[in-house]
Amino acid sequence: MHTNTIENITEDEGSQTKKNTRAYKKMGQQTIELLNNFNTGEEISIFDFSIEQARDIFNPIFQSSSAPYLVIAEEVHKTIEYDGLTLSLIELTPEGDAPSDGWPVLLFLHGGGWILGDYPSYEGLAKATCYHTKAKVIFVDYALSPEAKYPLALQQVCTTLKWLNSQNDQLNINPNRIGVIGDSAGGNLAAALCLFNQQSTAPLPIKVQCLIYPLLDLSLDTDYPSRITCGDGEFFLSRDHITWSRNHYLTKPQQSEDVLVSPVTADKLNKLPNSIIVTAGFDPLQDEAKAYHQKLISAGNSSLLIHFPSTIHGFLSFSANLAIANTGIKRICQTIKEQL
């Protein structure tokens, strides 16, 4: 059973270019420079724009912040009608020969608060995951809010898992080597998928869930210390962003108490997949992720916490700017590969 925490500090510590507060002394220099670029001093907020405008601003930033895409063998875009739902999927296949019993496969669930994010903005991270894990990746281009409300995105994710299990021969995949990886809101969907699958009458095999700086608690009275100390907007993600996402994702506030919306509140956590939980030292969401890790361990599951103390929420998407992002995705993928 994994209970250890991995500390990854590859950036220079300290700052000569930003205010020398106690917090910034522990932040990597490249992360400081990235935040300097974000925090230009202009009074511009994502909340000042329409949803369409916010997407036009956010998605290209993530797309341009990715390092050059790693080479994979094949990229196939698919629209599937299955079990009464329309699924938009991108299938990524790594280079090399498939194992004799079929490819391991990862469902990839992107972040963006259920509102932002798409395949172009996550293409670099999805292809890096495919490249480093040597697994087939199925990117789920789920329906975004507020056009689609909870639980449609989760239903699409759960249906994709069913579809995968019906396509073993066609996709040349191993149904006993399926995992799920998601960041931020995608980490929420990944955790919810595993809980939903665990509760079903005929659960499908999921070997590993990798939750990357996941948003795991949408409860209205949530008050984690990290949300207070890191959530004023100075470190990329704010408490206001979380509230904005919740308000657009849910039809009514009471849904925030559903364990498939706030997985950290779940009580029945036994027999879940091996878990890899990734946190960042300046992320408002780190405390709920650490709490979920501890609850998984207490329920008898295997869970490994990988902590990156010198950087921020979303750092893996900034691989063109942050060495820690490239180090981090390699380390995370190696751990997935070992468990998948």
H or E segment and range at residue 245: helix 239-249
Q: Could you identify the residue written with the tokens 């700086």?
A: 213
Would you place residue 222 in the very low, low, confident or very high pLDDT band (cuts 50, 70, 90)? confident
Sequence letter at residue 181:
I
In angstroms, how far is CA 49 from the centroid of its own chain? 24
Res. 270: pLDDT tops 50: yes
Kindly state which CATH superfamily the domain 5-339 is placed in.
Alpha/Beta hydrolase fold, catalytic domain (3.40.50.1820)
In angstroms, how far is CA 174 from the centroid of its own chain? 23
Cα torsion 194, 86, 166, 177 to 10°: value is -40
Query: Under a CB-based contact definition with an 8 Å cutoff, are residues 323 and 190 in contact?
Result: no
Instruction: Tell me the C-alpha to C-alpha distance, in Å, between residue 100 and each of 76, 170, 178.
Output: 22, 14, 16
Active site (catalytic) residues = 184, 283, 313
Q: 0.85 exceeded by the pTM?
A: yes
- Please compute the mean of the pLDDT values over residues 265-275 and round it to a whole number: 97
- Residue 281 to residue 306: CA distance in whole angstroms: 11
* Each residue's pLDDT tens digit, 314-329: 999 999 999 999 999 9
3-state secondary structure of 244: helix
- Please compute the mean of the pLDDT values over residues 123-129 and round it to a whole number: 98
Query: Under a CB-based contact definition with an 8 Å cutoff, are residues 325 and 28 in contact?
Result: no
Ramachandran category for residue 172: left, alpha or beta (phi over 0 → left; psi -120 to 50 → alpha) = left
Joined together, the tokens standing for residue 236 give 């990329």
Bond from prior residue into 273 cis (ω within 30 degrees of 0): no
- Please compute the mean of the pLDDT values over residues 248-266 and round it to a whole number: 97
* Each residue's pLDDT tens digit, 292-309: 999 999 999 999 999 999
- Please compute the mean of the pLDDT values over residues 251-260 and round it to a whole number: 97
Q: Is 299 exposed, middle or buried (0-12, 13-18, 19+ CB in 10 A)?
A: middle
